[in-house]
Amino acid sequence: MTRKGQTRTKEVLILVAAMSGLGNLVGCASFADSDSGDGWNSNGTTQSPSGSGGSSASASPGAGSADAGVFNGNVGGLTGASGGAPGGPSNTGGTPQKPASVAATTNPFISPAYDPFSTFAIDVDTASYDIFRREVNFGRLPQTSQVRLEEYVNAFSYEYPAPAATSDIPFSVGIKAAVSPFASGTTLLRVSLQGKQITAVEKKPTNLVYLIDVSGSMGVPEKLPLVKQVASESLDLLAPTDKVSIVVYSGTTAVKLTATPASEKAKIRGVIDSLAAAGSTAGGSGIMLAYEQAQAAFIVGGINHVLLCTDGDFNLGITNNDELVKLIETKRKTGVTLTALGFGNDVQNDAMMERVSNAGDGIYAVISSRDQATTYVRDSLLSTIVHIAKDVKIQVEFNPQRVSAYRLLGYENRDIADSNFRNDRVDAGEIGAGLRVTALYEVALLGASVPMPVGAPELKSGLPVPGTREVLATDLAMVKVRFKAPGAKETDPAREVSSHLGVDEVLQTLAAADADMQWAAALGAFAEILKDSPYANKANLSTIASIVESQKARDAGRTEFAALFAKAQPLIR
């Protein structure tokens, strides 16, 4: 996944599969941009301490407002947490402790009379939800800073309509709204994208480079054995002529397998089975060797992908966060992209793991069980390496004659400056084959009070920002999606599609909406509680529970969440 303002040419995709540690890589950067120059990104998020309080606010055009921050509290029930983040996890026994992470942020309400445009890059990472699954099974909640709302919502399957088989647009776009049961007087708006599936015939020739951490910390059942499982099972997805390479790193680095046809499964699996964990970690130099292998076996016009798997702690090699990210971004611009997968029950430095994947245009996930490993290979690996559209930007434009204020739920670090929506040199997100993207907004219709609970960031308002207004008078909102074909160059023009939502299309209850919208809304409300958002309301747990109970039999993912939700509720205080 990508940040705003980034550019690159992508032909080689490195899927990085075994990072055993990012301990010396802790850190994050602000990717906020601003159209107004006041320190806010285009969704208005800020990270300064909030001093705002009160009950409700009115969104009046022209009303100035000072920058305000977000409420950064801790959800109760965190094992070992008292006024700060506990130390890093240990492999020596006992209950693993959660590592330190950066503070969570929450988007504010924005007056569309001031700025009707909400612009962001898509995100299909799932690591935040993966961490929730792991932590709850250990009897504790994730840290508030590890909760990224959009990753909870996007962790599930939805039955969105697929694009027509004859369409040259590789995804469908939907926009719906219903009155919210979670915040009085507000409406929930959902934007959805559904990518097309591809057949084996449509998949491009593939060159996979596995970068596998075999340092000592990986030598537990939920780490290196799961890496080996992913690598082995993924061979069944590849065509006989696809290429596979394996690079390992610990105290030293080595190429265990040069580019080998996937048809030679016995040979490849023999190398995979021989891997053993020992020594310290030299992640930086391992990454360099993986890039060399990707370039050496480069397939022109094909997919070239390296998978790095780690528990999040690099002890040697490139230890400067910014230098590592710069390296990954530079390689991405040459056509080599990178995804980080976290393995185990104690993946450290969640923020840096996400940052690494974002820099490499990859998808960050966490795997801690055999079932999760199989599910990742079956449901996510192919969509991770096979893109159907690139530089995908979403812009929702709200009608100030119909809407008093809006706020985007999640996507705080996926913001793109409104002025860059049609700047086709600006990098954005990718859609993989068959992937779904969901984004939720909380909307106060014209005349309604804007929720302003204690600790919430101030309403963002002021003189109208520049930009041509395109929303229709009869619209509540419209969504515009801009994208390029996977093989497009930085200088190639993007295409754009749009969809409108009329005021008369708003459903009067969430119960009247489709089951998918109800589920997404419930997950969004639950994630708000977990991240201790100032807009969260624990009284909503009963409504969330009702939706979860009614849908728990739909599929395995929902069944699992129902069990996790039951475990999590007693921990929420």
Q: pLDDT at position 461, please?
A: 96
**All domains of the chain in start order, with CATH:** 12-27+201-384 (3.40.50.410), 116-124+144-198+389-455+469-571 (2.60.40.1230)
DSSP of 34-74: -SSSSS--TT----SBP----SEE---TT-------B----
3-state secondary structure 219-237: CCCCCHHHHHHHHHHHHHH
Contact between 299 and 241 under an 8 Å Cβ cutoff? The reply is: no
Q: pLDDT at position 519, please?
A: 98
Please list, in sequence order, all residues whose beta carbon lies within 8 angstroms of the beta carbon of residue 225, skipping any fewer than 6 positions away.
Answer: none
Kind and range of the H or E run holding 374: helix 370-375
Tell me the C-alpha to C-alpha distance, in Å, between residue 22 and each of 98, 246, 282, 283.
Answer: 14, 20, 10, 8
Contact between 491 and 120 under an 8 Å Cβ cutoff? The reply is: no
Q: pLDDT at position 201, please?
A: 59
Q: How far apart are CA 427 and CA 415, in angstroms?
A: 12
Chunked mean pLDDT (size 10), the chain, 573 residues: 38 39 33 35 42 40 32 29 32 35 75 98 89 94 95 96 91 97 96 88 86 92 96 94 94 92 97 90 76 93 86 65 85 83 87 83 89 91 83 96 98 93 88 91 96 95 96 98 88 95 97 98 98 96 98 96 98 93
Bridge partners, 498 (sequence order) = 480
In this prediction the pTM is: 0.76
Q: How far apart are CA 420 and CA 406, in angstroms?
A: 20
Q: pLDDT at position 564, please?
A: 98
Please list, in sequence order, all residues whose beta carbon lies within 8 angstroms of the beta carbon of residue 264, skipping any fewer than 6 positions away.
Answer: none
Q: pLDDT at position 546, please?
A: 98
Q: pLDDT at position 81, please?
A: 31
Structure tokens at 176: 């719906």
Query: How crowded is residue 299: how many other Cβ atoms within 10 Å of its Cβ?
Result: 18
- Provide the b/e sequence for 134-172 (b: ≥16 CB within 10 Å): bbbebebbbbbbbbbbbbbbbbbebebeebeeeeeebbb
Beta strands in 494-534 (DSSP E): 495-502
Q: How far apart are CA 563 and CA 298, in angstroms?
A: 45
Please return the burial class of 573, using the count of CB atoms within 10 Å of its CB with bins 0-12, 13-18 and 19+: exposed
Q: pLDDT at position 203, please?
A: 82
